[in-house]
């Protein structure tokens, strides 16, 4: 087993419960960790034998572009797509952070961190 990390993916998105967040948007930082078997790719040196981090980044970008009220919802959408689209991933962890949230105080960020195991996902 092994882990693949995508650290500090910076995006601009429009998530939040307030009307102003839908109009103005905010800066976000997303971190992803996937647990997968890296034995084959470490021997073969072939992209087809691993989880392509470009594809993982594409999932994050795509899901962040779809507005949601809650960061929890966005994080879960990212996790479900990673597990569904990458059969070798056994577990994925995602942290979604909103920078400078409009909460009436000096707060650097608010964030949620979620994880999903393949065994917990019910495929339809």
| Per-residue tens of pLDDT for the chain, all 124 residues | 899 999 999 999 999 998 888 889 999 999 999 999 999 999 999 999 999 999 999 999 999 999 999 999 999 999 999 999 999 999 999 999 999 888 888 889 999 999 999 999 876 5
Range of the domain at 68: 2-120
User: By C-alpha distance, which of 42, 51, 37 is closest to 2?
Assistant: 37
For the purposes of burial, counting CB atoms within 10 Å of the CB of 30, is it exposed (0-12), middle (13-18) or buried (19 or more)? buried
Q: What is the pLDDT of residue 74?
A: 98
Q: Number of folded domains in the chain? A: 1
Those residues with Cβ within 8 angstroms of residue 95's Cβ, 6 or more apart along the chain or in another chain: 30, 31, 75, 111, 112, 113
What pLDDT, on the 0 to 100 scale, is given for residue 9? 98
Residues 80 and 116 sit within 8 Å (Cβ to Cβ): yes
CATH number at residue 60: 3.30.1130.10
**pLDDT confidence of residue 115:** 97
Closest among 87, 76, 101 to 48, alpha carbons compared: 87
């Amino acid at each position: 087993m092994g882990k693949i990390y995508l650290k500090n993916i910076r995006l601009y998105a429009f998530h939040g419960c307030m009307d102003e967040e839908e109009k103005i948007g905010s800066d976000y930082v997303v971190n992803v960790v996937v647990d997968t078997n890296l034995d084959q790719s470490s021997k073969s040196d072939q992209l087809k034998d691993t989880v392509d981090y470009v594809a993982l980044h594409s999932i994050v970008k795509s899901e962040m572009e779809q507005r949601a009220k809650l960061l929890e919802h966005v994080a879960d959408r990212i996790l479900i797509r990673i597990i569904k689209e990458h059969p070798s991933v056994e577990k994925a962890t995602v942290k979604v952070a909103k920078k400078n949230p409009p909460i009436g105080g000096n707060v650097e960020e608010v964030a949620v961190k979620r994880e999903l195991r393949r065994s917990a996902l019910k495929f339809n």
